[in-house]
Amino acid sequence: MPTSLSDPAPVIAQVPAGSATHCPYCALQCGMYVTDGQITPREDIPANAGGLCQKGWTAAELLSSPERLTTPLLHGRPAGWDEALGFVADRIGAVRAEHGPDGVAVFGGGGLTNEKAYQLGKFARVALRTSQIDYNGRFCMSSAAAAANRAFGMDRGLPFPITDIDRADAVLLAGVNVAETMPPFVRHLSEMRAGGGRLIVVDPRLTQTARRADLHLQVTPGTDLALALGLLHIAVADGHADLGYLESRTTGFEAVRTSVSAWWPERVERVTGVPVALMREAVRILGEASRAMVLTGRGAEQHAKGTDTVTAFVNLALALGLPGREGSGYGCVTGQGNGQGGREHGQKADQLPGYRKIDDPAAREHVAAVWGVDPADLPGPGRSAYELLDSLGTPGGPKALLLFGSNPLVSAPRAGHVAERLAGLDLLVVSDFVLSETAAMADVVLPTTQWAEEAGTMTNLEGRVLLRRRAAEPPEGVRTDLEILRGLADRMGCGERFPTDPRTVFDELRAASAGGVADYSGITYERIAAETGVFWPCPATGAGEEPHPGTPRPFLDRFPTPDGRARMIAVEHRPPAEDVDEEFPVYLTSGRVLAHYQSGAQTRRIRPLTQAAPELFVELHPELAERLGVAPGDMVRVRGRRGAAEGVARVNDAIRPDTVFMPFHWEGVNRLTNPALDPVSRMPEFKVCAVAVERLAGEEGVA
């Protein structure tokens, strides 16, 4: 029986008998059974192999939540489906007539199944003919995706099975706190260390992951890029660069070597705060390992220079000769449940299914043929996620928004401003199964099924396509997102284009993805079930030919670039978009805690999880707390240029003296965060901004 918070005793909610399925939360997509109201872990899914975290063990409680929505809401009052969908369709028609197709926008989520993500992108471009579609995955790993695409010609979170980590000799995690964000991942690191492997963690905080590390490089927030440049400088200067690999498998090394020559270790120490000795030791560990991996996460990516930061870590991995070598490589630890698949099939403003670019004439022709439309009728690229939210209700911006699987009032940067934009819309429609903070603002709320109540595929952080089976009966009165889209399409005269059966949608997705970078055409529901997942790319084969086996390690022979080589790109460090000053002298960084997931709309409704982490807190170093007169348990206000938030003080030495940390699962934190955007990925700078901290008068702490 589990005994820790990361693997606690299960809390059972009574749900109907079901079958093998997958967890509703992170990108591990842990396998589980929901049977007769009980959750038990599956042994056959390599990502978790019989383990679950507390979020997974308690997931069934969400299925019977008393806060579940079971009827549409129209201006806050219960309404029938015909009335609600009719109202939405009429208002969409009026907005389009007055403002054109781009007067209506669509915002999706990285937790939607592949089928729903695909259908949502198709609905936007075929039914609405709008270019204004993006999704909250833009806030997740878009910088890593952009860096991987320009380096390797392909973005797949881990371009190798997660079990390769078990046999590594060294792993560097840059901005990754898997011990709290996806605890079953830790078993792979533990297996690696049990075999003599070494773990290096880059993080401004001494996280639960960093506590397990052999080396902790505690960077100043916003300086990960400088650190990566310094590590590469040392690798070249100390003879750890694999010159044969660089000659045969990469381009651009000489320009990169020249650019990092200016980042000698002592300079990097002054910028990052990481001692030279620790940097040298980290490079030695990686350079001497037979099998090594460099993995990045949100801590390195959620910056206005996130693409360049990831590029610098990719350059380090390439200089060491890791990508494309079995047992080694670079990877990104994807966060959201379908963060990988959700961005492959059309939710992003600039993409069509199969990871095709929407402005590529050949891509438009292929997808238009599958959809039965004229390529000229497909819209072009639209606004990225924050730019889309920022434009709502403004002159020239969308006047209506359809929102599926996201809660931007909590999750978007500069959230107070986003709330003002949402309030200025002519129509806000939210599809959700609980009344999230954003749904509470909506003109229309459409109650939808959730994870175990519907079938569909998910693509986990390895690029393994998994089948999430229906394992419970939904409450009477709710509909799937596919049924909601069909209901709207019916009222817009194109319902026949939008089937509601997930398998039918997946078969169309397969055809639309065929020949693309993310080719799913050879994957079927039957294959996924028989093989416990299939790695893309997996193209279809001809009649009588053996099925393609899938591609667990796509870079072994060549990279999917025109010349087959990885591209090294010189990048330069620059300070945060907003640095500390006299008025705002402290860095704020944000992240997750073990008990909660994303905006908390799900986990804050599960009793054991709210008991484990009941409220927003502010983590301060003892030196900073003493200067401010703050004791543990005091209420403190964190104030920045865009807003303020209040939380309970937690005082410990896990954080740097110049930094405070707040988790983003509660409303408030993202009122402070900076919407400055990466010029390539359009990722906002979530991970660093300047704030002032003060104790609230009369709010004494409890020792």
**Best CA proximity match to 306, nearest among 674, 677, 584:** 677
pLDDT at 412 over 90: yes
Asked whether the predicted pLDDT for residue 676 surpasses 50, the reply is: yes
What is the tens place of the pLDDT at every residue in 273-287?
999 999 999 999 999
pLDDT of residue 697: 81
Question: Which residues, in sequence order, are CB contacts of 30 under 8 Å at separation 6+?
Answer: 22, 23, 41, 42, 45, 47, 48, 51, 52, 53, 56, 184
- Residue 698, pLDDT score: 66
Q: Of the candidates 642, 637, 620, which has an alpha carbon nearest to the alpha carbon of residue 689?
A: 642
**Residue bearing the bigger pLDDT, 38 or 569:** 569
Q: Judge whether residue 699 has pLDDT over 90.
A: no
More confident residue, 38 or 105: 105
With bands split at pLDDT 50, 70 and 90, how would you rate the model's confidence at 108? very high
* Cross-strand pairs, 689: 588
Query: What gap in Å lies between CA 502 and CA 623, rounded to an integer?
Result: 55
Q: Which CATH superfamily is domain 142-332 in?
A: Dimethylsulfoxide Reductase, domain 2 (3.40.228.10)
Beta-strand relationship, 635-639 and 351-352: unpaired
pLDDT of the residue at 156:
95
Q: In the predicted model, is pLDDT for residue 12 greater than 60? A: no
pLDDT tens sequence across 633-674: 999 999 999 999 999 999 999 999 999 999 999 999 999 999
Q: How far, in Å, CA of 468 to CA of 480, rounded?
A: 14
Q: Return d(Cα 608, Cα 199) in angstroms, integer.
A: 31
φ, ψ dihedrals at 328, nearest 5°: -135, 175
Amino acid sitting at position 230: G
| 215 three-class SS | strand
Give me the pLDDT at residue 36, please.
Answer: 74
Which residues in 291-302 are b (16+ Cβ under 10 Å) and which e? bbbbbbbbbbbb
73-139+338-500 CATH choice from 3.40.50.740, 3.40.720.10, 3.90.1150.10, 3.40.50.720:
3.40.50.740
pLDDT at 7 over 50: no
Point out which residues pair with 465 in neighbouring strands. 459, 534
- Report the distance separating Cα 70 and Cα 477, nearest Å: 5
Q: What is the DSSP letter of 123?
A: I
Q: Cite the DSSP H helix spans in 359-501.
A: 361-371, 385-391, 408-411, 415-423, 481-491
Q: What are the structure tokens assigned to 456, written together? A: 């569909």
pLDDT at 15 over 60: no
Residue-averaged pLDDT of the chain: 95
Token pair of 599 as six digits: 């905006």
pLDDT at 1: 28
Q: What share of the chain is helix, strand, coil (3-state, %, to 5)?
A: 35, 20, 45
- Evaluate the omega torsion of the peptide bond into residue 537 and state whether it is cis, within 30 degrees of 0: yes
Least Cα distance to 109 among 342, 425, 334, 282 occurs for 342
Pick from 27, 88, 86: nearest CA to 55? 27
Closest by CA position to 406, among listed 418, 423, 417, 420: 418
In DSSP terms, 295 is beta-bridged to: 173, 331
So what's the pLDDT on residue 544? 87
Q: Which residues contact 255 (CB under 8 A, 6 or more apart)?
A: 568, 570
Which among 224, 307, 427 is positioned nearest to 679, based on CA atoms?
A: 307
User: Which has more confidence, 10 or 472?
Assistant: 472
Residue 476: other Cβ atoms inside 10 A: 7
Distances (CA, A) of 347 to 329, 583, 638: 28, 40, 34
Work out the average pLDDT over 30-39.
88
Strands 674-677 and 684-685: antiparallel
The torsion defined by the Cα of 147, 151, 154 and 159, in degrees rounded to 10, comes to -90
Q: Cα–Cα distance between 625 and 567 in angstroms, integer?
A: 46
Q: Residue 388's pLDDT is what? A: 98
Average pLDDT over residues 444-452: 96
Instruction: Please report which confidence band the pLDDT of residue 515 belongs to, taking 50, 70 and 90 as the band edges.
Output: very high
Q: What is the mean pLDDT of residues 347-375?
A: 97
Q: How far is CA 243 from CA 240, 319, 321, in A?
A: 9, 8, 8
Task: With cut-offs at 50, 70 and 90, classify the pLDDT of residue 700.
Answer: low
Q: What angle do CA 29, 537, 570 make, to 5 degrees?
A: 90
* Mean of pLDDT values over 613-628: 97
- Hey, where are the domains in the chain? 1-64, 73-139+338-500, 142-332, 586-695
Reduced to 3 states (helix: H, G, I; strand: E, B; else coil), residue 506 is helix
Question: How confident is the model over 226-242, as a mean pLDDT?
Answer: 98
pLDDT digits (tens, 9 = 90+) for 143-197: 999 999 999 999 999 999 999 999 999 999 999 999 999 999 999 999 999 999 9
- pLDDT tops 70 at residue 449: yes
Give the whole-angstrom CA distance, residue 263 versus residue 286. Answer: 19
Report in angstroms the alpha-carbon separations of 631 from 204, 618, 635.
22, 12, 9
Report, as an integer, the average pLDDT of 202-222. 97
pLDDT (tens digit per residue) in 284-333: 999 999 999 999 999 999 999 999 999 999 999 999 999 999 999 999 99
What share of the chain in percent tops pLDDT 90? Answer: 94
Count of H-run helices and E-run strands, the chain: 23, 30
Given a cut of 50, is residue 489 above it in pLDDT?
Answer: yes
Burial category of 395 from C-beta neighbours within 10 Å (exposed 0-12, middle 13-18, buried 19 and up) = exposed
- Cα separations in angstroms, 434 against 23, 66, 131, 407, 475: 18, 9, 28, 11, 13
Token pair 């309970």: residue = 648
- Give the integer Cα–Cα distance in Å for 36 and 463: 31
Q: Give pLDDT tens digits for 109-136.
A: 999 999 999 999 999 999 999 999 999 9
Please report which confidence band the pLDDT of residue 73 belongs to, taking 50, 70 and 90 as the band edges: very high
Q: Is the dihedral of CA 263, 266, 270, 274 positive or negative?
A: positive
Please state, in angstroms and rounded to a whole number, the distance separating the CA atoms of residues 57 and 2. Answer: 10
Report whether 154 contacts 694 (CB < 8 A): no
Other Cβ atoms within 10 Å of 683 Cβ, number: 32
Q: What SS3 state is found at 637?
A: strand
- Choose the CATH number for 586-695 among 3.40.50.300, 2.60.120.10, 3.90.800.10, 2.40.40.20: 2.40.40.20
Res 18: pLDDT: 52
Quick one: pLDDT at residue 452? 93
Residue 585 tokens, joined: 């002298």
Q: At residue 3, does pLDDT exceed 80?
A: no
Alpha helices (H) in 320-379, listed in sequence order: 361-371
How would you write 29-93 as a 3-class SS string? CCEEEEECCEEEECCCCCCCCCCCCHHHHCCHHHHCCCCECCCCEECCEECCHHHHHHHHHHHHH
| Amino acid identity at 173 | L
